[in-house]
């Protein structure tokens, strides 16, 4: 069956966030890791989310990878392409949201691209083109201190214009509130004025429903999970997609084996989740310093610790540290080198855990998840029910051997008991 919706996501956990929204809305969704090999047999799906790691790489590489993903999705019949970016619009003046949106616009032949990172369920709203995170503008939120892409301007019209070749307009909330026809009319007017992209205001899910109808009539849109919700509802309403409930019990059924959590996110939410897990399962805290200086020994010791405990229940292994610990390691070894060494270490631990019989695995952190999923050579996931907003249950597809069930958690997502909840939904009792 041809695809209806093709999504190109700029990171793995962001991809599973979007896939979660689609699946929750009743769109049968598959998440692939990178552009799949021609030989990969995928389950029947209405949407495919191609996960890239293109958020923070040089813009020309991000464009090349996104165009390759587009070619694959187009060949499978996708009638609309969504470029999934972060709901906090993570990018710099060099890109990559602008350059990738420009390139996809030319490839799809779109005159104008609606762009909105609004995701009201997680507090991301857009008004007059300004992005709010909770109750503060983006430039006053913690994103102002992001290590890779500090967001210092809440005006997304300006932010996008600085990284785009074309001119950027606005679809204001008054048009959005007036409905899909008003959004389409505004987009047409902006295109006639020579604008190639437009930031679209959205505060409530109902706004995204109107935006979704207007966007679904165009070849391309750029946004986060809120836009995914709007597109899913529009495609189901116009009959292009038949609503199908994801069967959570079936997704994890028959997948036994050991269970583990590997965390490399140092976000406030993940640190709290690890602290809560300490009262629920054995927790090993890795030494980031040793992962840099003696990686093989630190990984081997962690695996030995885990193997002695896995038969009794799930274990959690965390590299995650508090900001002052992270700063100390970064000051000694360099920010990039420390991050990469810790990612290699956690990925090697994930690989060792799977070799030891772990079939149910929770990964915390975008980069951490990316490194582990790549190391495990997982080509694709079937997307199941939601564990927490932005985090679905995933079952591996296209891998030789027994399937596994995973969760890839963005650093800031999930409540304090996230790990126990995720393991519980994987059928792990302890």
Ligand X SMILES: Nc1ncnc2c1ncn2[C@@H]1O[C@H](COP(=O)(O)OP(=O)(O)OP(=O)(O)O)[C@@H](O)[C@H]1O
CB atoms within 10 A of CB 148: 13
Considering beta carbons, is residue 178 or 327 the nearer one to ligand X?
A: 327
> Cα(47)–Cα(316) distance, rounded to whole angstroms?
33
* Region near ligand X per CB under 6 A, out of 35-43, 65-73, 175-183, 361-369: 361-369
- Residue 16 within binding range of ligand X, rule CB under 6 A: no
- Residue 86 within binding range of ligand LCNOYBR7, rule CB under 6 A: yes
Interaction residues for ligand X, span 220-279 (CB under 6 A): 264-267, 270
Q: What's the closest the beta carbon of residue 52 comes to ligand LCNOYBR7, in angstroms?
A: 12
Q: Binding ligand X by CB under 6 A: which of 305, 412, 417, 427?
A: 412
> Cα(95)–Cα(147) distance, rounded to whole angstroms?
16
> Cα(266)–Cα(361) distance, rounded to whole angstroms?
19
- Residue 14 within binding range of ligand LCNOYBR7, rule CB under 6 A: yes
- Enter the tokens of residue 95: 């890109």
> Cα(280)–Cα(120) distance, rounded to whole angstroms?
32
- Residue 91 within binding range of ligand X, rule CB under 6 A: no
* Region near ligand X per CB under 6 A, out of 103-111, 149-157, 221-229, 365-373: 365-373
Considering beta carbons, is residue 14 or 321 the nearer one to ligand LCNOYBR7?
A: 14
Q: What distances in angstroms separate CA 238 from CA 4, 214, 217, 429, one per listed residue?
A: 12, 12, 10, 42
Q: Where are the alpha helices (DSSP H) in 179-294?
A: 180-192, 205-216, 225-237, 248-252, 268-277, 288-293
**Residue closest to ligand LCNOYBR7 when measured from CB atoms:** 14
> Cα(146)–Cα(352) distance, rounded to whole angstroms?
31
CB atoms within 10 A of CB 38: 7
- Residue 66 within binding range of ligand LCNOYBR7, rule CB under 6 A: no
Q: Binding ligand X by CB under 6 A: which of 81, 118, 288, 373?
A: 288
Evaluate whether 374 touches 229 at the Cβ level (below 8 Å): no
- Residue 410 within binding range of ligand LCNOYBR7, rule CB under 6 A: yes
Considering beta carbons, is residue 225 or 350 the nearer one to ligand LCNOYBR7?
A: 225
Helix (H) or strand (E) holding 217: none
Q: Quote the crossing angle between the two packed helices 335-355 and 323-333, to the nearest 10°.
A: 110
Helix (H) or strand (E) holding 423: helix 418-425
Interaction residues for ligand LCNOYBR7, span 259-318 (CB under 6 A): none
Q: Binding ligand X by CB under 6 A: which of 326, 376, 383, 426?
A: 326
- Residue 100 within binding range of ligand LCNOYBR7, rule CB under 6 A: no
> Cα(409)–Cα(180) distance, rounded to whole angstroms?
33
Considering beta carbons, is residue 120 or 264 the nearer one to ligand X?
A: 264
Tell me which residues touch ligand X (CB under 6 A). 13, 264-267, 270, 288, 319-321, 325-326, 329-330, 338-339, 342-343, 365-368, 410-412
Q: Which residues bind ligand LCNOYBR7 (CB under 6 A)?
A: 11, 13-14, 17, 86-88, 224-225, 366, 390, 410
């Amino acid at each position: 069956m041809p695809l209806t919706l093709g999504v190109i996501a700029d990171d793995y956990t962001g991809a599973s966030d979007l896939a979660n929204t689609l699946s929750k809305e009743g769109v049968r969704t598959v998440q692939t890791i990178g552009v799949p090999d021609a030989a990969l047999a995928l389950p029947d799906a209405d949407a495919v989310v191609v996960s890239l790691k293109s958020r923070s790489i040089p813009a020309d590489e991000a464009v090349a990878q996104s165009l390759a993903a587009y070619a694959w999705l187009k060949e499978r019949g996708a009638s609309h392409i969504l470029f999934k970016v972060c709901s906090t619009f993570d990018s710099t003046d060099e890109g990559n949201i602008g350059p990738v949106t420009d390139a996809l616009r030319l490839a799809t032949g779109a005159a104008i691209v609606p762009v909105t990172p609004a995701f009201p369920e997680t507090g991301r709203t857009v008004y007059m083109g300004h992005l709010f995170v909770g109750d503060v503008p983006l430039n006053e939120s913690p994103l102002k201190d992001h290590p890779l892409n500090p967001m210092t301007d809440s005006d997304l019209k300006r932010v996008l214009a600085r990284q785009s070749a074309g001119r950027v307009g606005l679809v204001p909330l008054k048009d959005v509130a007036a409905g899909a026809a008003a959004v389409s009319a505004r987009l047409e007017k902006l295109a006639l004025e020579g604008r190639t992209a437009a930031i679209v205001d959205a505060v409530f899910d109902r706004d995204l429903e109107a935006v979704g109808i207007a966007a679904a009539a165009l070849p391309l849109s750029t946004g986060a999970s809120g836009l995914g919700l709007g597109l899913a509802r529009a495609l189901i309403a116009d009959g292009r997609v038949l609503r199908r409930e994801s069967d959570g019990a079936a997704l994890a059924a028959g997948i036994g084996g050991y269970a583990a959590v590997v965390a490399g996110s140092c976000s406030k939410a993940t640190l709290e989740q690890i602290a809560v897990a300490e009262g629920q399962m054995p927790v090993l805290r890795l030494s980031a310093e040793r992962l840099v200086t003696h990686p093989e020994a630190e990984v081997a010791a962690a695996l030995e610790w885990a193997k002695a405990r896995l038969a009794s229940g799930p274990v959690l292994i965390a590299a995650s540290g508090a900001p002052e610990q992270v700063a100390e390691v970064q000051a000694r070894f360099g920010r990039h080198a420390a991050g990469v060494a810790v990612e290699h270490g956690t990925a090697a631990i994930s690989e060792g855990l799977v070799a030891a019989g772990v079939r149910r695995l929770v990964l915390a952190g975008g980069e951490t998840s990316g490194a582990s999923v790549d190391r495990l050579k997982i080509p694709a996931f079937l997307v199941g029910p939601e564990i927490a907003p932005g985090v679905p249950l995933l079952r591996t597809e296209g891998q030789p051997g027994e399937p596994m069930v995973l969760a890839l958690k963005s650093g800031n997502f999930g409540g304090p008991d996230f790990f126990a909840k995720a393991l519980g939904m994987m059928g792990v009792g302890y």
